[in-house]
């Protein structure tokens, strides 16, 4: 009887212990799941915040020295190793001249027979007509001749992405007559404020500086809003809608800063 009682106690204790372990394991799994969820939420938010539009550069097309410096920085092995075949580097720039991405490949063909083509930018998700300009340059390193094919992305794709995020109803419903849309960005291209209202485009910078005391604006661009089919979006009067982007001057405080 005593042995049976001890056996029952032992089984009860083991059950409690096992339940405790299962509970702890479940707690650890839950905590881990919550941590991962928070991580992906944060990284997702960070990714969403990466949509930027930089201020226009005085000269958007890259000059030879810029391409040479890019090759030296991104592909230093081309300066120290002899490559068999034709070395090709495809470079994609934003419409304002900011670097987006590069791609490296070795082609077996003679470099003299290779030329720049829009199809080389399909790897970046672009199709024919998405490039504002296209060019090529042959850069001579100590050991290799590098064919650099470079292109600048048209701003329409980026503008449409900004509109889809900040003005989601515009592409499907348009805007009323005399209404316009604007975006205020810092000098690093981050969106600070947006607006849909009636305004005079020639006075928009003054309007924003008055509305947000202390800020100093610099560049402003105006571009037509295009739908995904490439057709211009119009207002209720049939007039083409344009996106106005205004950038803060370097060193300017942002709206709300003391």
3-state secondary structure string, the chain? Answer: CHHHHHHHHHHHHHHHHHHHHHHHHHHHHHHHHHHHHHHHHHHHHHHHCCCCCCCCCCCCCCCHHHHHHHHHHHCHHHHCCCCCCEEEEEEEECCCCCEEEEEEEEECCCHHHCCCCHHHHHHHCCCCCCEEEEEEEEEECCCCEEEEEEEEECCHHHHHHHHHHHCCCHHHHCCCCCCEEEEEECCCCCEEEEEEECCCHHHHHHHHHHHCCCCCEEEEEEEECECCCCCECECCCCCECEEEEEEECCCCCCCCCC
The CATH number assigned to the domain with range 64-153 reads 3.10.20
The percent of residues in the chain predicted with pLDDT above 70, rounded, is: 75
pLDDT exceeds cutoff 90 at 13: no
Split at pLDDT 50, 70, 90, the class of 101 is very high
- 40-93: pLDDT as tens digits: 333 333 334 567 887 776 556 678 888 999 999 999 999 999 999 889 999 999
Q: Where are the domains of the chain?
A: 64-153, 156-248
pLDDT exceeds cutoff 90 at 175: no
- 137-165: pLDDT as tens digits: 889 999 999 999 998 888 888 898 999 99
- pTM value is 0.58
The predicted pLDDT at position 117 comes to: 79
Q: What average pLDDT does range 111-116 have in this prediction?
A: 60
The predicted pLDDT at position 174 comes to: 79
């Amino acid at each position: 009887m005593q042995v049976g009682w001890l056996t029952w106690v032992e089984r009860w204790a083991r059950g409690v212990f096992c339940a405790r372990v299962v509970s702890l394991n479940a707690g650890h799994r839950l905590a881990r799941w919550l941590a991962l969820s928070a991580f992906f939420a944060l990284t997702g938010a960070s990714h969403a915040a990466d949509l930027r539009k930089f201020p226009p550069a005085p000269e958007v097309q890259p000059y030879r020295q810029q391409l040479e410096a890019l090759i030296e920085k991104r592909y230093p092995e081309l300066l120290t190793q002899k490559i068999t075949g034709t070395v090709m580097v495809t470079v994609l720039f934003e419409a304002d001249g900011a670097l987006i991405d590069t791609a490296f490949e070795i082609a077996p063909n003679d470099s003299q027979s290779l030329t720049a083509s829009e199809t080389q930018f399909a790897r970046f998700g672009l199709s024919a007509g998405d490039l504002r300009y296209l060019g090529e340059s042959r850069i001579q390193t100590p050991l290799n001749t590098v064919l650099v094919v470079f292109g600048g992305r048209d701003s329409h794709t980026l503008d449409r992405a900004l509109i889809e995020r900040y003005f989601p109803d515009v592409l499907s419903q348009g805007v009323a007559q005399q209404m316009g849309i604007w975006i205020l960005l810092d000098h690093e291209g981050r969106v600070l404020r947006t607006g849909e209202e009636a305004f005079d485009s020639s006075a928009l910078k003054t309007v924003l500086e008055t509305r947000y005391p202390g800020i100093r604006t610099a560049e402003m661009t105006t571009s037509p809003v295009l739908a995904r089919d490439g057709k211009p979006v119009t207002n209720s009067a049939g007039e083409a809608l344009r996106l106005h982007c205004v950038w803060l001057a370097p060193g300017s405080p942002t709206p709300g800063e003391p």
